[in-house]
Structure 1
């Protein structure tokens, strides 16, 4: 595989430069994965529109999906980023590790969401009926199901981009699941 660079502001289009400036003002930096999208004239803006779109899921619920999907797809970049974001949304280290396994013994509704996100990802969208029924039994509705599927797709895009490009991770590394749960 050829080496992929993380483009600098000067190496991207004027449209992407404006997005870089906005990201830097909001986050304090441009994450490497976002910068990598800017190799395309449109991908960064399109991806940010998708990931920032309105949803019936809360920010905390979105992190449950992001962590479970990124674990199934073994994306070290997204696991690192969403471990940090998960903490910012109120999860502790142990809860984040458990969510990554597709379960959450600390909360029934979170457990159903984590299990569904994992199951959808592992089965390429062919979720097990029992997992979907458990999701509904936990209090979610059809809108939440559709929004969860969209979020699985959103996170899979980033997982695949990192898996293909292998750009450097610029967040603190997420602990390896196997060693952390021992």
Structure 2
């Protein structure tokens, strides 16, 4: 499969540049990473995803490190190398240690294994686990 094309700042529309500027300001970076420059081929999607990221990944009931750890776990399960790398860097910035990463990988591996067993055996849900 071929790679998508990136929209660099110089060739971006005003709407795309506005999102890029927000990303650079909020994240305190000089360049927008590849994820954003590649989804910028669709201005509406770029804006929608950026708005979702700002809202969901902001500090809330879960602190930023926990959110990054969850993101890594889902990315590992979905086999998204880009997202693993990006959010591992974010988790490190948020204070993740190598020990925490290793433990996270053990939990992800265990959850995937036991999920497959529960699915494969079609195990009924215990009444005490029902909401």
Answer yes or no: same fold by TM over 0.5.
yes
Gaps of 5+ in 1: 104-113, 134-141, 143-182
Q: Quick check: 1:37 aligned with 2:39? A: yes
SS in 2 for 1:3: coil
Higher-helix-fraction structure: 2
Bigger-Rg structure (1/2): 2
Q: How far does the alpha carbon of each residue in 1:100-119 deviate from its partner, in whole angstroms, 9 at most, with x for none?
A: 3435xxxxxxxxxx959xx6
Find the counterpart in structure 2 of residue 175 from structure 1.
none
Q: Distance in 1 between matches of 2:71 and 2:125?
A: 22
Q: Distance in 2 between matches of 1:32 and 1:24?
A: 13
TM-score after normalising by structure 1 = 0.53
Q: Quick check: 1:70 aligned with 2:70? A: no
Where in structure 2 are the equivalents of 1:1-182 lying within 5 Å? Answer: 1-25=1-25, 26-53=28-55, 55-102=60-107
- Contact 2:16/2:40, CA 8 A, preserved across alignment: yes
RMSD: 2.8
TM-score after normalising by structure 2 = 0.71
- Give the structure, 1 or 2, with the largest relative contact order (CA under 8 Å, sep 6 or more): 1
Equivalent residue pairs, number: 113
